[in-house]
Amino acid sequence: MTTFSHLTRKTVFNTLTALSLSVTALLMPMTVQADETCLSPYMAKIVGQEDFVYVWTLGVVGMGDEQDKLVTIDVNPKSANYGKVIHTLSVGGRNEAHHSDFTDDRQYLWAGGLDTSKIFIFDVHTDPAKPRLHKVIDNFVEKTDGLVGPHTFYAYPGRMLITALSNNKDHGGRTGFAEYSNEGEFIATHWMPTDENLRNAQKTGQYADGYNYDLRSLISRNVTLTSSFTGWSNYMMDFGKMLNDQEAMKRFGNTVVVWDSHTRQPKQVLDVPGAPLEIRFAWGAQNYYAYTTTALTSKIWLIYEDEATRQWKAEAVADIGDPSKVPLPVDISISSDDKTLWVDTFMDGKARAFDISDPRHPKQIYEKVIGKQINMVSSSWDGKRIYFSSSLLANWDKKGADDEQYVKLYHWDGKELTQQWGVDFYAEKLGRAHQMRFGAYSLYPEHRQKAITNITQASNH
């Protein structure tokens, strides 16, 4: 008789739960998949119209309660509160709120603070319209043996992988990523390869800097990619001061690391100079490639598997705007049909669309100024709704009248972005709007009838 360990049973349960939610959702009246295109493939998926956008928001001194908070916006067009803030949940203090994401069963949203290294776990399934603070992890640095600045949260079955931007020894960029259970228990730390310790990885170019930023996986190839940015001493520094500090400007990452997804072992270190940030894999079953953009050199990079050698390679394939003006690309989103790549550039406040039908030759087909500054972009699965937010980092955001803080929704018809609504986070005394994640009643059995009603109303409109 075969027996399962507790961890294996939990993993199987979570995986089957996610599968059950997805299958059940497919039987609902509408079959348009509406979820974001940047999420973990292990995660339960929204089908139909998203109901909420959860915005992880930085507190501002002298504004409201001055605390970081999770802000919930109603985004169902049939709701009387469409485009309005319906709930806020403050977490105490200012932690440099940055990124967040869901567990694989989508019942909890994990969110991190880059300064304090605290992690806040929100219950988003008991009442999706009113998230609750479920747990706070305040010993991340201690448990992980020195990781600082939890950044990307990425769901695996029963697990959460968490990249870190820094370390507690010198507050520089050498770091790793942590592995936790869905219950918030620490499992392991995986350190990035460096010149001094490649950890059995192959160094393919000039760099093995040990920096980290984002993490994404391609299940079909058992491959995980991590990118690289900068450490606490830089991202907590005033932006203007940093730009004029020659030593600080040397402290940015120049690598993408290829990992074995199952063993969490690094396999290759690729040169991608200029601080590669978000990683987005293509979705097609036979498309073994991803994109990233470099903040300092304003280029789109293709990270791909070579068909002949089955080794991964990196190639700069396009410029973003005028690189000499350093528009500072920050966030990207790839469409579910692998034909369009959205790129936000912070300094000029623009969203640009690139045709990536030919993966090696992206061509810009559209651009629009969204605000005086811009950071995150979240695209619905059907490509029709594009959400934007404004804040990059508390000490990097623009000053004075250029410091706009917002979340905006645009409709995309393939030719033009048309704004539907916007929430002014300063006018609402909420703070700096950073990352967005979608929520929906349809994900949870106890709320499914409400989701069916919402979708039926929308389809009859």
> pLDDT class for 457, splitting at 50, 70, 90?
low
Q: Which residues contact 344 (CB under 8 A, 6 or more apart)?
A: 329, 330, 331, 332, 350, 351, 352, 370, 374, 375, 376, 377, 388
* Number of structural domains the chain divides into: 1
Cβ-count burial 348-367 (b if 16+ within 10 Å, e if not): bbbbbbbebeebeebebebb
Tell me, yes or no, whether 34 lies in a domain. no
Tell me, yes or no, whether 429 lies in a domain. yes
Tell me, yes or no, whether 338 lies in a domain. yes
Q: What is the pLDDT of residue 450?
A: 66
> pLDDT class for 48, splitting at 50, 70, 90?
confident
Q: What is the pLDDT of residue 209?
A: 98
pTM over 0.95: no
pLDDT tens for each residue of 121-177: 999 999 999 999 999 999 999 999 999 999 999 999 999 999 999 999 999 999 999
CATH at 438: 2.130.10.10
Q: Are 53 and 35 in contact (CB under 8 A)?
A: no
Tell me, yes or no, whether 418 lies in a domain. yes
Closest CA to 390 of 409, 370, 360, 410: 370
Beta strands per DSSP E along 246-389: 255-260, 265-271, 276-281, 289-294, 299-305, 312-319, 329-334, 340-345, 350-355, 363-369, 377-379, 385-389
Q: Which residues contact 362 (CB under 8 A, 6 or more apart)?
A: 300, 317, 318, 341, 354, 355, 356
69 pLDDT more than 60 = yes
Tell me, yes or no, whether 25 lies in a domain. no
- And the tokens for 266? 């690094």
Cβ-count burial 104-122 (b if 16+ within 10 Å, e if not): bbbbbbbbbbbbbbbbbbb
pLDDT tens for each residue of 78-92: 999 999 999 999 999
- And the tokens for 284? 């097609």
Percent of the residues in the chain that have a pLDDT greater than 70, as a whole number: 90
| Whole-number Å distance between alpha carbons of 340 and 19 | 28
Structural domain boundaries, residue 351: 52-459
- The H-or-E segment that residue 65 falls in is none
Q: In the chain, how long is the greatest CA-to-CA distance?
A: 69
Phi/psi at 284 (nearest 5 deg)?
Answer: -60, 145
Closest CA to 357 of 380, 376, 334: 334
Q: What is the pLDDT of residue 202?
A: 98
Q: Mean pLDDT over residues 209-227, rounded?
A: 97
CA separation (Å) from 282 to 130, 272, 290, 335, 388? Answer: 33, 19, 6, 8, 21
Tell me, yes or no, whether 24 lies in a domain. no
Dihedral over alpha carbons 419, 421, 425, 428 (to 10 degrees): 150
Residue type, 40: S
> pLDDT class for 5, splitting at 50, 70, 90?
very low
32 pLDDT more than 90 = no
Q: Are 388 and 404 in contact (CB under 8 A)?
A: no
Tell me, yes or no, whether 368 lies in a domain. yes
pLDDT tens for each residue of 314-341: 999 999 999 999 999 999 999 999 999 9
State the burial class of residue 5 (Cβ atoms within 10 Å of its Cβ: 0-12, 13-18, 19+). Answer: exposed
Tell me, yes or no, whether 8 lies in a domain. no
Q: Mean pLDDT over residues 227-246, rounded?
A: 97
Q: What is the pLDDT of residue 410?
A: 98
